Amino acid sequence: MKLTGAEIIWECLIREGVDVVFGYPGGAILPAYDAMTKYPQVHHVLVRHEQGATHMADGYARASGKVGVAIATSGPGATNMVTGIATAMMDSSPIVCITGQVGSKAIGTDAFQETDVTGVTIPVTKHNYLVTKPDDIARAIREAFYIAKSGRPGPVLVDITKDAQQLSCEFDWESAAPKLPGYRPDLRALPSEYQKALELINTAKRPLILAGQGILKSGATAEVLKLAQNANIPIAVTLLGLGVIPASCEHNLGMMGMHGEAWVNEAIQQADLLIALGMRFDDRVTGNLKTYAQNAKKIHVEIDPSEVNKNVPVDVALIGDLREILEELLPSVKKTTHPEWWATINLGKGDAAVRDIQALPDSGHLYAAHVINDLCHFTQTLKKDTIVVTDVGQHQMWEAQYFRHEKPRSLITSGGLGTMGFALPAAIGAKFACPEKDVWVVVGDGGFQMTSCELATAEQEGIKVNVAIINNSFLGMVRQWQEFFYDKRYAATPITGPDFVKLAEAYRLKGLRCNKRSDVKSTVEKALAAKETVVIDFVVEKEDTVFPMVPAGAALDKMIRRPKQDVMLESGSDKDWEMPSSTLPNVFAEAKAEAVALNSRGKKAAKPAKPAKVTKPAKPAKTPARKAVASKSAKSNRR
């Protein structure tokens, strides 16, 4: 049948299973918006900023496992999407962004609102297209969806000129099937690599599984749990891996990395085998690479060959879909118990327990950790099926530490790019994906102000999300670094804001405020009872600190630890709390020494202990790809 290019866009989206898109109209995309009126099957969500559209598409994709779609016009509309696209790229989130472009004859003339958005987004997309003819629209969109969700998922941008949208051509869905002869997303490891991996697993004395987001992408939670149970192997999770292994699972030690659990980081450094499943050894996980797990052999199961040996040399690389690889390994994994290894780990757990802020009595102060812990307790007591979407900063780390995620896709956060302003729009996208679930936004007062305009989107759409602002009147994580490493020179980190309760009311939404721990429960209950979006201003301690912390450049187990209970700063004395460096000068001494060492160029640092001899880094097996099938579900192993 003969259709305009604009109509073909919507025909393709419907055939790809799209029922909601997030966008903002403009001149170069106007033909597509006009054609949209013929396709009521697709609900359009009018955002207040194009960055919000990409975050909403991202949140939708992470909550549902489907491809999210964002639409914008040319020039500033397209460039406003770049941060959201980069966020999705870093966290392997499958979104398709469709942008309008000036007419094909005007390209290169610096026409009004012309920007080379395909050039701009090359580094932050999995692939992108510039379409100048209506005949090419269907194939570009079909390939965009296939690329976005296959292999290691990621964002794809399709830039379509205005005249391509206006002109007509014959539309043939079948003939527009993807043709990507050079794209090989579905690889398989050689049998010899499986044998090497099994030998390491079956002979290890101190093995440890590193569980990343790739488990979620592959749908391999059951297989990972079976591996852990059969060989009694403890599991450490990455930030984006939270929820893929239930927090209540006896094998789950908790989060690793810069702000991970102390005993988890120590276990990594003491292990003799690391089994990395769908994670990429990024800097927030490893600490100083020169001192990272020096005595451990390493197995890396990863769908993206470019991630293998990129940061950490490994002994065995198994390239392919995580679930399929584990299904191949499991029958040959020997049952064992590792009692001495577990005893060592549990000893570290006991030391950390006495440092936990939750062990302290209520002194009248409201700490962010209290808010997160109580929010988790109340929602789980009520048996609410909850998705938490966090922004970036201190509150993000407290959420990761104190909210116990039992299900996959129950935590959505910006891990790789660390995008402030992500939470509110991503939560709106998640709510559209899962309208039956309670969606909570956990956000700082700084990040919230970056995209608070999307409250208007929530109000116009009549959807309900609960916004918990952790309001400490600082850009908290930056302030913490200034406290530790810049002698408390708080340059540009104190931040003011509006009255968040009145701001919510200005958007015809509900606003609440809480500044006492005893009021947290009643405040949460009021939020849950409301029908509209609720904004809660949790006024917490200003100079609170995320513990533990691995300073940049330090070894993974060289952490700044929370002081033990007998010297805790949270004593109810504001003076003590505001002066931690002078009250406990030794707490930060090692971290400051690390910072001085890193900044001293030309000075020889002390040589680290000589690592145990390891085998040459494994190279991914060069094997033919299995035939790619366009309808195959997305698979990836990431973080």
484, 535: one domain: yes
Tell me the residue range of the domain where 455 lies. Answer: 361-546
Can you tell me the distance from the alpha carbon of 159 to that of 157, in angstroms, rounded to the nearest whole number?
Answer: 6
Is-contact 470 444, C-beta < 8 A?
yes
Please give the share of the chain, as a percent, with pLDDT higher than 90. 82
367, 343: one domain: no
When the pLDDT of each residue in the chain is averaged and rounded to a whole number, the result is 89
163, 213: one domain: no
> Which amino acid appears at position 55 of this protein?
H
Q: Which of 308, 329, 351 is the C-terminal boundary of a domain?
A: 351
Mean pLDDT score, 129-157: 98
> Which amino acid appears at position 263 of this protein?
W
Residue with the two structure tokens 């880094």: 617
Can you tell me the distance from the alpha carbon of 470 to that of 395, in angstroms, rounded to the nearest whole number?
Answer: 7
pLDDT exceeds 60 at position 124: yes
| Nearest residue to 423 via CA among 457, 376, 385, 388 | 388
343, 492: one domain: no
Domain for residue 638, yes or no? no
Domain for residue 629, yes or no? no
The alpha carbon of 8 is separated from its chain's Cα centroid by a whole number of angstroms, namely: 33
Domain for residue 570, yes or no? no
Sign of torsion, CA 500 501 507 510? positive
Angle between helices 5-15 and 137-149 (to 10 degrees): 30
Other CB atoms within a 10 A radius of the CB of residue 250 amount to: 12
Q: Which of 521, 546, 571 is the C-terminal boundary of a domain?
A: 546
136, 234: one domain: no
Helices of type H across 584-632: 589-599
The whole-number pLDDT of residue 562 equals: 76
Residue with the two structure tokens 């001293």: 600
Q: What's the pLDDT tens digit per position in 499-508? A: 999 999 999 9
Count CA atoms closer than 13 A to 492's CA, side-chain side.
0
Q: What's the pLDDT tens digit per position in 473-501? A: 999 999 999 999 999 999 999 999 999 99
Domain for residue 276, yes or no? yes
Six token digits for residue 629: 């099938």
pLDDT exceeds 80 at position 623: no
Residues 6+ apart with CB under 8 A from 64: 433, 434
**pLDDT band at residue 109 using 50, 70 and 90 as cut-offs:** very high
Mean pLDDT score, 3-21: 98
Start-to-end Cα distance in the chain: 45
Domain for residue 557, yes or no? no
238, 215: one domain: yes
167, 197: one domain: no
346, 379: one domain: no
30, 103: one domain: yes
Q: What's the pLDDT tens digit per position in 26-41? A: 999 999 999 999 999 9
pLDDT exceeds 50 at position 441: yes
Can you tell me the distance from the alpha carbon of 335 to that of 272, in angstroms, rounded to the nearest whole number?
Answer: 18
Q: What's the pLDDT tens digit per position in 362-417? A: 677 899 999 999 999 999 888 889 999 999 999 999 999 999 999 999 999 999 99
Can you tell me the distance from the alpha carbon of 623 to that of 188, in angstroms, rounded to the nearest whole number?
Answer: 7
pTM greater than 0.85 (yes/no): yes
Q: What's the pLDDT tens digit per position in 351-363? A: 666 556 665 566 7
Is-contact 214 638, C-beta < 8 A?
yes
Q: What's the pLDDT tens digit per position in 280-298? A: 999 999 999 999 999 999 9
Domain for residue 135, yes or no? yes
Is-contact 212 277, C-beta < 8 A?
yes
Is 502 exposed, middle or buried (CB count within 10 Å of its CB: 0-12, 13-18, 19+)?
A: exposed
The whole-number pLDDT of residue 363 equals: 73
Is-contact 407 246, C-beta < 8 A?
yes
The whole-number pLDDT of residue 561 equals: 85
DSSP character for 548?
Answer: S
Domain for residue 577, yes or no? no
Is-contact 155 57, C-beta < 8 A?
no
pLDDT exceeds 80 at position 583: no
Residues with active-site annotation: 50, 112-113, 162, 477
Tallying the residues shown for the chain, one arrives at 639
The alpha carbon of 67 is separated from its chain's Cα centroid by a whole number of angstroms, namely: 16
208 vs 201, 265, 406, CA distance in Å? 10, 11, 20
DSSP character for 630?
Answer: T
Q: Which of 325, 351, 377 is the C-terminal boundary of a domain?
A: 351
196, 334: one domain: yes
Count CA atoms closer than 13 A to 636's CA, side-chain side.
27
Domain for residue 387, yes or no? yes
**pLDDT band at residue 612 using 50, 70 and 90 as cut-offs:** very low
Q: What is the CATH number of the domain that holds 345?
A: 3.40.50.1220
Q: What is the CATH number of the domain that holds 445?
A: 3.40.50.970
What domain count does the chain have?
3
The alpha carbon of 635 is separated from its chain's Cα centroid by a whole number of angstroms, namely: 17
347, 385: one domain: no
The whole-number pLDDT of residue 638 equals: 36
Q: What's the pLDDT tens digit per position in 258-277? A: 999 999 999 999 999 999 99
| Nearest residue to 71 via CA among 113, 43, 107, 103 | 43
The whole-number pLDDT of residue 357 equals: 64
Count CA atoms closer than 13 A to 142's CA, side-chain side.
22
Is-contact 426 58, C-beta < 8 A?
yes
Concatenate the DSSP letters of all residues of 142-153 into one string: HHHHHHHHSSS-
Lowest mean pLDDT across 200-214, 368-382, 595-609: 595-609
Residue with the two structure tokens 């939560």: 427
421, 288: one domain: no
> Which amino acid appears at position 363 of this protein?
S
